[in-house]
Chains A and B, each alone.
Chain A
Amino acid sequence: MTPPRPARKQIHLAAHFPGVNSTTVWADPRSGSQIDFSSFEHLARTAERGLFDFFFLAEGLRLREHAGRIHDLDVVGRPESITVLNALAAVTDRLGLAATVSATFNEPYELARRLASLDHLSGGRAAWNVVTSSDAFTGENFRRGGFLDRNDRYTRAAEFVATARELWDSWPEGGERRRFAHHGQHFAIEGEVTVERPPQGHPVVIQAGDSDEGREFAASAADVIFSRHSTPEAGRAFHADVKRRLGRYGRRPEELKIMPAVTYVLGETEAEAREKAALISRQQVSPQNALLALEQVWGRDLSSYDPDGPLPDVDPEPDSTLVQGRVRVADPLAVAARWRALSEAKGLSIRETVVEATARHSFVGTPASVAAALEEHVATDAADGFILVPHLTPGGLDDFVDLVVPLLQERGVFRTEYTGTTLRSHLGLPAPVWKGGTP
């Protein structure tokens, strides 16, 4: 066994429950329920067996629609996150429990109370992934309706998080609760909180935005960034940029962990892993999904095209409202140009182009080569850890935990046991500074 090398930068790992998009393969005999509690229990127990930092749930507040009809090609339907995590607290002991919850369609008092309750009921394992929503489409399910423009989304989110922290600080553990009053641009509230300060002080705050405002918000307020940069170059640039911003807020680099969402495929040999990866990509991009992916970029009805034929000659419709309930392609003309170039260079059909352009796996190889690549990413500051997104529910992380985690441990870059009980301790984050006055 390799001797311990304590100076090595440690890797943080999280398990993402498979989402409602084409990454999740449902047309596989091993694919289980996306909604039964047993699926959540299986994946959470697997993550805890693998000594992961936390388990992560995404959020959806309106079913996706395409051309005015509910999208029917991908897994759809999921539970309300915080409620599932409270139940998972009963069947896990150390695993962090992270819920994605919108700052747009919630109110600080209620959400701060729900997150504090989760932190109490899990013994200090709660995390909140703060997201914002801007579309009127999602707003149609909520009282406030409508939408916020991009700037207001972030000012509301920033004020929301700051307000939640004020609330968490207003009833010191073992002390007397005191009145709070917050009067800001977005919220004017006052009263008394009814839940004692959470065991972690504040639940861990995760942030996922990648825009300039998102990065600044993360640098000022987040403990973890859920990023999308899975290549080493993009990851290092992002890492350097965000960590540079921390100084403005008096924070040290280790106080914010950057964890990109990544996928992986394991094989006994490199060749077998590549074959499996190609097969999974074809499962993820069915002929119907290939046309749909194309329509999402083109913003046009392309249902008459042959998925095994060439890309359309017509240009995208940049202002299309064809796609609702998911992130819009930012620059459809540029994406279309890239896809055309890819198709022409390699002689690819529509489906092959979509596979090549969208269904890439971040890490493909033997357990040893994947472990080495993960370590390399973290050692070179392309990331501080990873949020693993399996393609199968609920067994999609079994092989990673059985085969890769032991190798990371041998390399001395991943814990061999939980040393703390709270998520904050797993992530090596300092206790939040008390801002509630003299306790």
Chain B
Amino acid sequence: MTRVRPLHLAAEIAPPPAGPAPGSAGTGPRTVAGTVALARLAEDAGLDFLTHDDSFARPGLDALAVLARIAPETRAIGLVPTVTTTHTEPFHVQAAVATLDWVSRGRAGWRVAVSPGADEARLFGRRPAPPAAELWQEASEAAEVARLLWDSWEDDAEIRDVATGRFVDRRKLHHVGFEGATFSVKGPSIVPRPPQGNPVVVVDATRPAARETAARHADVALIRASSPEEAAALRAELHRAARAHGRDPGLLRVLLTLTADLDARPGGPAALAGLVADWHGGGAVDGLHFVPAVPERDLPRFAAGVAGPLRDRGLFRTAHEGATLRDHLGLPRPVSQYAPKGADA
């Protein structure tokens, strides 16, 4: 039996770091209402999720804060902020992402990123930025401890047992006792297990230094490629590496990240829709992560000119069928690593 592999579409909504292009639509600073309008547009177009890029050097508001702010004003679309791991506390990061999952009722993701710059290191003054390989090693550990902490409360830990006076069953709360190269965390988390069990982990695997982290921890890996062959090879490499870590490669979605200025290309949206259909149909990628040059201008064109035609051809969903980001991505809700074996039966 052949199963049609669903197509996944995502888009970046952060204002471009350099600010809007002169004379372009949507000039001036982004308002909250403007962000909500963009998110709703993407949601109505059926997109799986939005990313919001961030770094400590990039002008703009904290990405996780922006997506938490718009969570109550959206209902279905996944919300994936970039949160860096170099100068932050892994315990705080996992708690904030888990909380985004609670306030969005199961729509949170986390794009794991590092802070390579010396300028960012000076904003914290704790240590110089290590080389890229070490940064990603630390990012892997941050992702690993996040999963441990999200799992540190089993789903049924809260019992409210009046007879014994116990609110929780402490046997279902776990110290994680994680010892990494640059940090350690005792646990458990302060936040009960989030609605998705584990929010969706996204890793931009463009740089080779990040691929190991993607293979080990990502639910969604983002790649860049200039041909379907190159994309297919990267996807196969990530699948092989995931399998080597004992993971089921069928649970790793690989999306092509493509920065596009839909204004500059006559017939641009139609060409992009054709490219997505071809690459996805040929098995090179599981979908597209669209980075608009000017979100206010290009996202509406993407919704109407790319997502719309793909939907009309029966390649993309007509509506969100599930409630959580994992539902959209076809990823099961994971059982806690601490749950007794066979508890999911």
On A, residues with C-beta under 8 Å from B are 26-27, 35-37, 41, 60-63, 69-70, 72-80, 82-84, 86-87, 89-91, 105-107, 109-110, 113-114, 116-118, 120-121, 140-143, 145, 187-191, 194-195, 286-289
Docked complex Cα distance between A168 and B229 (Å): 49
**Contact of A62 with B168 in the complex, beta carbons under 8 Å:** no
- Closest chain A residue to B67 by CB distance? A86
**Contact of B73 with A90 in the complex, beta carbons under 8 Å:** yes
Contacts of A145 in B (CB 8 A): 184
Query: Per-residue CB proximity of B36-77 to A under 8 Å, as 1/0?
Result: 000000000000000000001111111011101111110000
**Contact of A194 with B60 in the complex, beta carbons under 8 Å:** yes
Contacts of B162 in A (CB 8 A): 27
Mind listing 16 A-B residue pairs with CB under 8 Å?
A: A27-B165, A35-B192, A36-B102, A79-B99, A80-B92, A80-B98, A84-B99, A89-B69, A90-B72, A109-B123, A113-B62, A121-B61, A140-B184, A143-B90, A195-B60, A195-B61
**Contact of B71 with A143 in the complex, beta carbons under 8 Å:** no
Docked complex Cα distance between A187 and B122 (Å): 11
- With A35-B192, A288-B165 as given contacts, are A110 and B56 in contact (CB-CB < 8 Å)? yes
B173 interface residue per 8 A CB criterion = yes
**Contact of B170 with A117 in the complex, beta carbons under 8 Å:** no
Contacts of A90 in B (CB 8 A): 69-73
Q: Which of A61, A91, A105, A289 contacts B165 (CB 8 A)?
A: A289
Q: Which of A63, A73, A107 contacts B166 (CB 8 A)?
A: A73
- Closest chain A residue to B173 by CB distance? A70
**Contact of A27 with B160 in the complex, beta carbons under 8 Å:** yes
**Contact of A114 with B168 in the complex, beta carbons under 8 Å:** no
**Contact of A26 with B70 in the complex, beta carbons under 8 Å:** no
Docked complex Cα distance between A187 and B162 (Å): 48
Docked complex Cα distance between A76 and B172 (Å): 13
Contacts of B99 in A (CB 8 A): 79-80, 83-84
**Contact of B124 with A26 in the complex, beta carbons under 8 Å:** no
Which of B59, B65, B70, B119 is packed against the most chain A CB atoms within 10 Å? B65
| Contact residues of B: prevailing secondary structure | mixed
B89 interface residue per 8 A CB criterion = yes
- With A35-B192, A118-B65, A141-B91 as given contacts, are A80 and B73 in contact (CB-CB < 8 Å)? no
Docked complex Cα distance between A65 and B68 (Å): 31
Contacts of A75 in B (CB 8 A): 167
B53 to chain A, nearest CB (A): 12
**Contact of A77 with B190 in the complex, beta carbons under 8 Å:** yes
Q: Which of A27, A60, A89, A187 contacts B125 (CB 8 A)?
A: A187
Contacts of A118 in B (CB 8 A): 65
Contacts of A82 in B (CB 8 A): 65, 96
- With A80-B191, A117-B65 as given contacts, are A109 and B102 in contact (CB-CB < 8 Å)? no
**Contact of A142 with B89 in the complex, beta carbons under 8 Å:** yes
Contacts of B227 in A (CB 8 A): none
**Contact of A121 with B32 in the complex, beta carbons under 8 Å:** yes
Contacts of A188 in B (CB 8 A): 125
Contacts of A91 in B (CB 8 A): 72
Query: Per-residue CB proximity of B109-125 to A under 8 Å, as 1/0?
Result: 00000000001101111
**Contact of A110 with B87 in the complex, beta carbons under 8 Å:** yes
- Closest chain A residue to B32 by CB distance? A121
Docked complex Cα distance between A347 and B77 (Å): 62
- With A79-B103, A109-B123 as given contacts, are A194 and B153 in contact (CB-CB < 8 Å)? no
**Contact of A77 with B56 in the complex, beta carbons under 8 Å:** no
Contacts of A27 in B (CB 8 A): 160, 162, 165
B226 interface residue per 8 A CB criterion = no
Contacts of B32 in A (CB 8 A): 121
- Closest chain B residue to A70 by CB distance? B170
- Closest chain A residue to B175 by CB distance? A70
Contacts of B103 in A (CB 8 A): 37, 79, 83-84, 87
A88 to chain B, nearest CB (A): 8
**Contact of B170 with A83 in the complex, beta carbons under 8 Å:** no
**Contact of A73 with B165 in the complex, beta carbons under 8 Å:** yes
**Contact of A70 with B168 in the complex, beta carbons under 8 Å:** yes
**Contact of A76 with B167 in the complex, beta carbons under 8 Å:** yes
Which of B91, B96, B103, B122 is packed against the most chain A CB atoms within 10 Å? B103
Docked complex Cα distance between A83 and B66 (Å): 9
**Contact of A189 with B170 in the complex, beta carbons under 8 Å:** no
Top 9 nearest A-B pairs by Cβ distance? A288-B165, A86-B68, A87-B103, A140-B186, A83-B99, A79-B99, A117-B62, A77-B192, A90-B72
A96 to chain B, nearest CB (A): 16
Contacts of B187 in A (CB 8 A): 141
Contacts of A41 in B (CB 8 A): 72
Docked complex Cα distance between A70 and B168 (Å): 9
- Closest chain A residue to B152 by CB distance? A63
**Contact of B153 with A26 in the complex, beta carbons under 8 Å:** no
Q: Which of B65, B92, B122, B184 contacts A86 (CB 8 A)?
A: B65
**Contact of A70 with B70 in the complex, beta carbons under 8 Å:** no
B181 to chain A, nearest CB (A): 12
- Closest chain B residue to A73 by CB distance? B165
B182 interface residue per 8 A CB criterion = yes
B136 to chain A, nearest CB (A): 18
**Contact of A110 with B68 in the complex, beta carbons under 8 Å:** no
B187 to chain A, nearest CB (A): 7
- Closest chain B residue to A40 by CB distance? B103
Contacts of A117 in B (CB 8 A): 61-62, 65-66
Contacts of B186 in A (CB 8 A): 62, 140-141
B105 interface residue per 8 A CB criterion = yes
Q: Which of B65, B66, B123 contacts A191 (CB 8 A)?
A: B123
B321 to chain A, nearest CB (A): 22
Docked complex Cα distance between A90 and B89 (Å): 27
**Contact of A79 with B191 in the complex, beta carbons under 8 Å:** yes
**Contact of A87 with B191 in the complex, beta carbons under 8 Å:** no
- With A188-B125, A189-B125 as given contacts, are A61 and B69 in contact (CB-CB < 8 Å)? no
Contacts of B102 in A (CB 8 A): 35-37, 79, 84
Contacts of B69 in A (CB 8 A): 86-87, 89-90, 121
- Closest chain B residue to A141 by CB distance? B91
- Closest chain B residue to A289 by CB distance? B165
**Contact of A87 with B167 in the complex, beta carbons under 8 Å:** no
B124 to chain A, nearest CB (A): 5
**Contact of A143 with B165 in the complex, beta carbons under 8 Å:** no
Docked complex Cα distance between A41 and B173 (Å): 27
Docked complex Cα distance between A77 and B156 (Å): 13
Contacts of B124 in A (CB 8 A): 107, 109-110, 189
Contacts of B341 in A (CB 8 A): none
B100 interface residue per 8 A CB criterion = yes
B335 interface residue per 8 A CB criterion = no
Contacts of B105 in A (CB 8 A): 37
Contacts of A37 in B (CB 8 A): 72, 102-103, 105
